[in-house]
Amino acid sequence: MMVFDFLRRGQAEVPEAKASATGKVLAYGGRGIAWSPRDTPSLTRSGFASNPVGFRSVKMIAEAAAALPLVLQDGAQRYDTHPVLGLMSRPNQAQGRAEMLEALYGQLLLSGNGYLEAVGLGEGVPVELHVLRSDRMSLVPGADGWPAAYEYAVGGRKHRFDMTGELAPICHIRSFHPQDDHYGFSPLQAAATAIDVHNSASRWSKALLDNAARPSGAIVYKGGDGQQAMTNDQFERLQVEMEAHHQGARNAGRPMLLEGGLDWKPMGFSPSDMEFQKTKEAAAREIAQAFGVPPMLLGIC
């Protein structure tokens, strides 16, 4: 059961005398850079938009979690009808319950932070709920360490959500981060090195096919009668015969007849190439493990 709590921070509810003694010295945790950048937009591009393992892991978790039924109850009873249930069934004009929750869980998985905006107030609950992009949101801490405001930046413009009023307009859901007092820790950050390895292996394979793919073999000219190299006519004739009689699906398996001075040398992947593929598979398993998704569900053996 998920509970969304938009805190009311009136002066009577959060008296200054109860503020933490360490609140004024809270510090933001630093993020080291190893290989590719570790900021949320860069990780989202490399670990979700450009990586099939990360993409599928996030989609599987978010879709499964959004499909779970919601239950509303208090210490006395469970409610079948309630304004909160009505709000969750249609949180805004563009999204239903499943769509909004999938977007919220996706943001939480990609950045470690999920932000819900409460719009309006009717019957004691917000009129609408909207999921805001985590990469556009920044927290403004107050003197006591609590969020004094949130700033949402779009296209050079910023909108400030004041958190000091009676009703907080932003519900910030974050995962545990041992070194940051205000932001959560994303599975993408834990899997960042494995994502770099997996993406680099994919780019290497693509470059191998585009620029340096090994043929199945090579025809070696040994020469004869003192001739060290093939003449232009001999070279062009060999190319024409190869294209006409030994390329394409209809010529698969056709034996090759070589004239004097020509020898066939088969070629294949070296042991280092095969080890590189194993490294890519190991990186894929590490990405799946960071999200807690069994590799078998992603087709990874």
pLDDT of residue 213: 56
- Helix segments in the chain, DSSP class H: 40-44, 52-66, 83-89, 97-111, 187-190, 192-211, 232-245, 271-291
Tokens read off for 249: 């699906």
Mean pLDDT of 243-252: 63
Q: How confident is the model at residue 216 (pLDDT cuts 50, 70, 90)?
A: low
- 259 pLDDT more than 70: no
CA distance 255 to 90: 68
Count CB neighbours of 287 within 10 A. 29
pLDDT value of position 278? 84
Q: What was the pLDDT predicted at 64?
A: 96
Residue 104 carries which DSSP code?
Answer: H
| Cβ neighbours for 22, distance < 8 A, ≥ 6 positions apart | 145
At 233, phi and psi to the nearest 5? Answer: -65, -40
Longest dimension (CA), the chain: 104
Predicted confidence (pLDDT) per residue in 276-296, tens digit: 778 888 999 999 999 999 999
Q: Are 288 and 298 in contact (CB under 8 A)?
A: yes
57 contacts 293 by C-beta, under 8 angstroms: yes
With CA atoms as reference, report the closest residue to 43 among 107, 92, 118.
107
- Contact between 263 and 220 under an 8 Å Cβ cutoff? The reply is yes
244-279 burial, b at 16+ Cβ within 10 Å, e below that, comes to eeeeeeeeeeeeeeeeeebeeeeeeeeeeeeebeee
What lies within 8 Å, CB to CB, of 202 at 6+ separation is 280
pLDDT tens digits along 75-106: 899 999 999 999 999 999 999 999 999 999 99
Token output for 100: 């909004």
Task: Please give the Cα distance from 56 to 82 (Å, whole number).
Answer: 35
Alpha carbon 157 to chain centroid distance? 26
Which pair of structure tokens corresponds to residue 205? Answer: 């394979």
Q: What angle do CA 257, 261, 265 make, to 5 degrees?
A: 65
At residue 176's C-alpha, the angle toward residues 285 and 30, to 5°, is: 90
pLDDT bracket for residue 175 (50, 70, 90):
very high
Which are the contacts of 93, defined by CB distance < 8 A and separation ≥ 6? Answer: 128
Q: Which residues contact 32 (CB under 8 A, 6 or more apart)?
A: 38
